[in-house]
A and B are shown apart, each in its own frame.
Chain A
Amino acid sequence: MSDTATVVGEESDLQGGHPVTEAIADGLLPGRIWLYTNYNCNLACSYCLTESSPRSERRELDPATMIEVAKQGRALGFTGLGVTGGEPFLLPWLPETIVAMAAELPVILLSNATLFVGERLERAAVLAGHDVSIQISLDSHIADVNDMARGPDNFDKVVEAVPRLIARGVHVRIATTTAWSPDDDRLEPLRQLVTSMGVAPEDHLVRPIVRRGRADELSLGIEARPIDIPSELTITADGAFWGSFGPTVRGGRLDTDLLLTRTVLPLSMPAEVLVGLLKGMPAGNDARLGIR
């Protein structure tokens, strides 16, 4: 890590009006940073943006980099962190790293929740009491429909894991990926199921399938241009990207069209490139497709 990283991360920089800090304060740059911990997964969902599966290369971020991103992100004025994969909980060092990151900024941690049994469940429980939410995917109240996209027995594992996590004091959100709009009445049984598991309605997120990665190969979901994708700074082992839908994979190859920089630290470097691009974009609503 360069010395520059330390200098950029100092509190005094904020008082000087760093362009990234100003862009976040002005609402030009979203306040959340996404991190892809790894690309491998125990599942192989049909719409996966990164073609993640048990056979995928791990390509993981190391814990020190993740914690440094959190520290520098806070110093630059970012307001939250999102952590995704692959399946992050395949990484044995994950819970303690997330706790360290949450000491800097609130963390939303995405998981398929199929690993929360036995020792892994207790390891996840260390997140209780910290500013961390585990966001778990559940796409239908009908097991077969959910499992068609997400794999056998996924539904059963999720509905068992969610109450276990909540019982251990872990904050849980549910994310539903669907072709239906968030207010579609057909989602009502799922909303009821989510509530019955102890998840608050405001912690149930409904979002569309984005046609990138494996979803593009299967012609699933909605087409999205860069301006349609929330421009959240996204950090991976392959570099920094425009948005969490940026570092997608198709046909085994990483999409580079939304790549910002290969350099991820100091964080100010990719963040400044992103701000520069945003300042050059026409005014508009970059969340018009409801992609979250």
Chain B
Amino acid sequence: MSRIDLLDAATAPISAKSSFADGDPGPIVAALANVPELLGPTLGFVGAALGDGAVSTRHKEFAILRTSALQGCQYCIHAHTAVAFDLGLSSDEIRALRGEMPIEEAFTNDAERRLIRWIDAMAGATGPIPSTVWEDVRTDFATHLLVELSVTIGATLFLNRFATAFELPTSAATAERLEEAGMQ
């Protein structure tokens, strides 16, 4: 049960109706529609930040799921566990990104390990990023990729706090998938 009204096709503001035209748009849109003038700009930003880019979808999902786990956002962890499965991440990789097993046990690629350490420094800590973490990640990832990932992490942090603050519910379909995979 959400803490706020999640609008539907009947209660959606007239200026946000198009977001509901193709059925249930999900709880984030349903919550944002309470302030319809923010819906378009926010979805535009989040869509660009989390969507396709120069960074591979696999590494982008690292950033999203890991950030969500570090922030303890149940809604985002559930949603992006399902997305990670769809993208072909293994159960162990997903569990590791969720903080349920050591990264080193699930990931053998050094570049990916260094990337996850950088994500941890970005999303799971405050203050400067340690020089060693920055220099390590720079050996494998170009500047533009890290800029893109930093935007992904920033948008994810926003979504994490938004979904957590208003206790947005995991969809029934996602919950069912996670139960089947033993990853509630």
- A and B, one complex? yes
- CB within 8 Å of B: which residues of A? 226, 242, 253, 255-263, 269, 273, 277
Residues of chain B in range 1-23 having any CB-CB distance to chain A below 8 Å: 5, 7, 10-15
Q: Are B12 and A256 in contact (CB under 8 A)?
A: yes
Task: Collect the chain B residues with CB atoms within 8 Å of residue A258's CB.
Answer: 13-14
Q: Is the CB of B169 closer than 8 A to any CB of chain A?
A: no
Residues of chain B in range 68-106 having any CB-CB distance to chain A below 8 Å: none
Q: Are A262 and B12 in contact (CB under 8 A)?
A: no
* Chain B min CB distance to A266 (Å): 12
The answer for the CA separation of A273 and B13 in the assembled complex, in Å, is 12
Partner of B14, one of A242, A253, A262, A263: A242
Task: Collect the chain B residues with CB atoms within 8 Å of residue A277's CB.
Answer: 14-15
Q: Are A256 and B34 in contact (CB under 8 A)?
A: yes
Q: Are B15 and A256 in contact (CB under 8 A)?
A: no
- With A256-B5, A257-B14, A273-B37 already in contact, 11 other A-B pairs whose C-beta atoms are closer than 8 Å: A256-B12, A258-B13, A258-B14, A259-B13, A260-B14, A260-B15, A261-B35, A261-B36, A262-B34, A262-B35, A273-B15
Task: Collect the chain B residues with CB atoms within 8 Å of residue A259's CB.
Answer: 13-15, 36
The answer for the CA separation of A257 and B36 in the assembled complex, in Å, is 11
Q: Are A255 and B11 in contact (CB under 8 A)?
A: yes
The answer for the CA separation of A242 and B14 in the assembled complex, in Å, is 8
> Can you give 18 contacting A-B residue pairs, CB < 8 Å?
A242-B14, A253-B5, A256-B7, A256-B33, A257-B12, A258-B13, A259-B13, A259-B14, A259-B15, A259-B36, A261-B35, A261-B36, A262-B34, A263-B37, A273-B15, A273-B37, A277-B14, A277-B15
Counting from the closest, the 4 A-B pairs by CB-CB distance are: A259-B13, A261-B37, A262-B35, A260-B15
Task: Collect the chain A residues with CB atoms within 8 Å of residue B10's CB.
Answer: 257
Task: Collect the chain A residues with CB atoms within 8 Å of residue B11's CB.
Answer: 255-257
The answer for the CA separation of A274 and B32 in the assembled complex, in Å, is 19
Q: Are A260 and B12 in contact (CB under 8 A)?
A: no
Nearest residue, chain B, Cβ from A231 = B14
Task: Collect the chain B residues with CB atoms within 8 Å of residue A261's CB.
Answer: 15, 35-37
Task: Collect the chain A residues with CB atoms within 8 Å of residue B37's CB.
Answer: 261-263, 269, 273
* Chain A min CB distance to B144 (Å): 33
* Chain A min CB distance to B10 (Å): 7
* Chain A min CB distance to B34 (Å): 7
Nearest residue, chain A, Cβ from B33 = A256
The answer for the CA separation of A257 and B20 in the assembled complex, in Å, is 12
Interface-centre pick from B5, B10, B13, B37 (highest chain A CB count, 10 A): B13
The answer for the CA separation of A273 and B16 in the assembled complex, in Å, is 10
Nearest residue, chain A, Cβ from B38 = A262
* Chain B min CB distance to A24 (Å): 19
Task: Collect the chain A residues with CB atoms within 8 Å of residue B15's CB.
Answer: 259-261, 273, 277
The answer for the CA separation of A263 and B36 in the assembled complex, in Å, is 10
The answer for the CA separation of A226 and B14 in the assembled complex, in Å, is 9
Task: Collect the chain B residues with CB atoms within 8 Å of residue A253's CB.
Answer: 5
The answer for the CA separation of A21 and B120 in the assembled complex, in Å, is 52
Task: Collect the chain B residues with CB atoms within 8 Å of residue A242's CB.
Answer: 14
The answer for the CA separation of A256 and B36 in the assembled complex, in Å, is 10
* Chain B min CB distance to A58 (Å): 21
Task: Collect the chain B residues with CB atoms within 8 Å of residue A255's CB.
Answer: 11
Per-residue A-contact encoding for B31-54, CB less than 8 Å = 1, 0 else: 001111100000000000000000
